[in-house]
């Protein structure tokens, strides 16, 4: 939308308002002038009638009166003199008036006994056009006889004068418009436009972060109030900025303190976790170390032991050493995970092979393991060994929750939005609601010391997250537990190009 300057806007409005005002004033002045002019013509006709009556009609000199009227009336004037049973018609151009004595104006004058005036022409304000004036009046004739006189006085000269007056008024209106526009523009520019421009410069300086020391905004009350309001606003903004800087500094100090406190809490949590781990690890490692010590004493006390028995004891020692090694490696897998080897993985195949391994080792004695694998499972990007480790951890946790006989179901499904879904469900005791949010925390366990370090689920969660998956749990105490793992399909994996597949 095109914009115009304040000066142009003021000039246009001044001209418009002044033009309307001058136009109305001109109309009023013209109508007043017109009224006085017509009234003057009527009075002149009245004077003519009075002179005619006193000087001619009362003396019976009708012909002299007619000549007097011809000289007194404007060209085109005419009239009728009625009295003593005769009517005399006359006109200034010598022609014969064809009207009769029954003119309504004559009848009104005879009936009322006073002069009657009628203006001939158009008069619809503000438009008017006058042709002439008709005046009918009763007159005295010789011997106090009564008669009537009708005179028509043309107003052509008046019309010319009125047109001239209109032109003069129009010229005066234009002249006044120019004078008012120039003076108004000059005065308003000094009193309004210049202070407004000063206010604009003030706002520009405020946006730059400073307020002018002084500004000439004139003496207009409202503009000075606006300038004062800008100063108050600037002071409030600056005060708010100072308060904001103080608050930011306080927040930075508080944030630094929080970071320090956080580090202290992490250190304290590590110490607490180390204390929890020490008890579990000591118990787990203590048992095989005790067995190794006992086997070593047997070997020491029986130097003549047969090879078969010695080999059996050595095998037992190696088994316990492997147990210690497994415990230590589990801890290392959590604190310092091994480098993974991501590749495209068939989920159903990994689950089947893992179930065979666990079953062959007898870890699920008296427990029914059911596989419900979907044939439409998509491939995922993962390390098959680490995925197998996750499945094993979930199976062993489910076995411990069953505390004997029970059922574990591993199922897979294809989720059109999420990708591959693996579900491990048992019908054991379930997980109490008050601890379900803690089961993935490192070193958290509900098992007795020596039966778990609390690292299995934590390590499993870390492995799943490594491959952009999520692990969820649903459980109600007494109704079993369900662990759900959701992996993105291989085609949707964000970093698949990094694996060379």
Q: Is the pLDDT of residue 500 over 50?
A: no
- Residue 160 binned pLDDT confidence (cut-offs 50, 70, 90): low
- The verdict on residue 277 lying in a domain is no
Q: Is the pLDDT of residue 357 over 80?
A: no
Threshold 0.85, pTM exceeds:
no
- The verdict on residue 423 lying in a domain is yes
Q: What is the mean pLDDT of residues 435-450?
A: 71
Q: What is the mean pLDDT of residues 309-323?
A: 79
Choosing from 179, 209, 244, the residue where a domain stops is: 179
Residue 274, pLDDT score: 47
- The verdict on residue 272 lying in a domain is no
Residue 276, pLDDT score: 44
Tell me the C-alpha distance between 91 and 93, whole Å: 6
- The verdict on residue 489 lying in a domain is yes
Q: Which residue has the higher pLDDT, 250 or 236?
A: 250
- Residue 179 binned pLDDT confidence (cut-offs 50, 70, 90): confident
pLDDT in tens, 44-75: 888 888 888 888 878 777 788 888 888 888 88
Domain count along the chain? 2
8 A C-beta contact, residue 287 and residue 450: yes
- The verdict on residue 426 lying in a domain is yes
Residue 282, pLDDT score: 62
CATH number at residue 380: 3.30.565.10
- The verdict on residue 407 lying in a domain is yes
Q: What is the mean pLDDT of the chain?
A: 76
Q: How much is the CA Rg of the chain, to the nearest whole Å?
A: 61
Choosing from 132, 160, 179, the residue where a domain stops is: 179
Choosing from 127, 161, 179, the residue where a domain stops is: 179
In sequence order, what are the residues at sequence separation of 6 or more whose Cβ sits closer than 8 angstroms to the Cβ of residue 279? 449
Find the domain containing 67 and state its range: 6-179
Tell me the C-alpha distance between 108 and 112, whole Å: 6
- Residue 415 binned pLDDT confidence (cut-offs 50, 70, 90): confident
Q: Is the pLDDT of residue 489 over 60?
A: yes
- The verdict on residue 194 lying in a domain is no
CATH number at residue 57: 3.30.450.20
Tell me the C-alpha distance between 315 and 454, whole Å: 29
In sequence order, what are the residues at sequence separation of 6 or more whose Cβ sits closer than 8 angstroms to the Cβ of residue 35? none
- The verdict on residue 223 lying in a domain is no
Q: Is the pLDDT of residue 95 over 60?
A: no
């Amino acid at each position: 939308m095109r914009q115009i300057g304040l000066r142009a806007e003021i000039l246009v409005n001044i001209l418009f308002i002044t033009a309307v005002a001058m136009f109305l004033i001109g109309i009023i002045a013209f109508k007043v002038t017109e009224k006085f002019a017509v009234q003057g013509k009527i009075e002149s006709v009245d004077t003519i009638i009075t002179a005619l009556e006193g000087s001619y009609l009362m003396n019976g000199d009708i012909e002299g009166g007619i000549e007097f009227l011809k000289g007194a009336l404007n060209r085109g004037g005419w009239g009728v003199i009625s009295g003593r049973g005769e009517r005399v018609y006359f006109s200034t151009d010598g022609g014969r008036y064809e009207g009769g004595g029954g003119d309504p104006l004559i009848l009104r004058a005879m009936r009322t006994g006073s002069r009657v005036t009628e203006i001939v022409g158009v008069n619809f304000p503000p438009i008017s056009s006058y042709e002439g004036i008709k005046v009918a009046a009763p007159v005295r004739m010789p011997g106090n006889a009564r008669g009537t006189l009708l005179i028509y006085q043309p107003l052509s000269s008046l019309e010319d004068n009125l047109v001239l007056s209109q032109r003069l008024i129009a010229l005066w209106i234009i002249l006044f418009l120019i004078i008012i526009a120039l003076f108004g523009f000059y005065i308003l520019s000094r009193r309004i436009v210049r202070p407004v421009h000063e206010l604009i410069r003030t706002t520009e300086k405020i946006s730059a972060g400073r307020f002018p020391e002084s500004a000439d905004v004139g003496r207009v009350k409202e503009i000075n109030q606006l300038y004062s309001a800008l100063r108050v606003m600037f002071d409030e903004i600056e005060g708010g900025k100072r308060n904001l800087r103080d608050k930011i500094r306080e927040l930075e100090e508080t944030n630094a303190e929080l970071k320090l406190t956080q580090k202290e809490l992490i250190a304290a949590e590590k110490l607490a976790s180390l204390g929890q781990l020490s008890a579990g690890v000591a118990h787990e490692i203590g048992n095989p170390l005790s067995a190794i010590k006992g086997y070593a004493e047997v070997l020491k006390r029986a130097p003549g032991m047969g090879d078969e028995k010695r080999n059996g004891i050595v095998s037992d020692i190696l088994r316990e050493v492997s147990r210690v090694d497994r415990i230590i490696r589990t801890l290392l897998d959590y604190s310092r995970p091994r480098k993974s080897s991501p590749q495209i993985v068939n989920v159903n195949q990994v689950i089947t092979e893992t179930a065979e391994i666990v079953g062959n080792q007898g870890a699920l004695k008296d427990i029914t393991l059911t596989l419900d694998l979907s044939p439409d499972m998509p491939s995922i990007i993962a390390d098959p060994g680490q995925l197998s480790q996750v499945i094993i951890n979930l199976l062993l946790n489910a076995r411990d929750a069953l505390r004997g006989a029970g059922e574990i179901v591993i199922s897979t499904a294809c989720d059109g939005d999420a990708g591959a879904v693996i579900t491990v469900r048992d019908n054991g005791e379930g997980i109490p609601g008050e601890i379900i949010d803690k089961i993935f925390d490192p070193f958290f366990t509900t098992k007795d010391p020596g039966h778990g370090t609390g690292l299995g689920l934590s390590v499993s969660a870390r492995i799943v997250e490594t491959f952009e998956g999520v692990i969820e749990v649903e459980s109600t105490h007494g109704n079993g537990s369900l662990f759900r793992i959701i992996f993105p399909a291989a085609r949707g994996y964000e970093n698949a190009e990094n694996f060379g597949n």
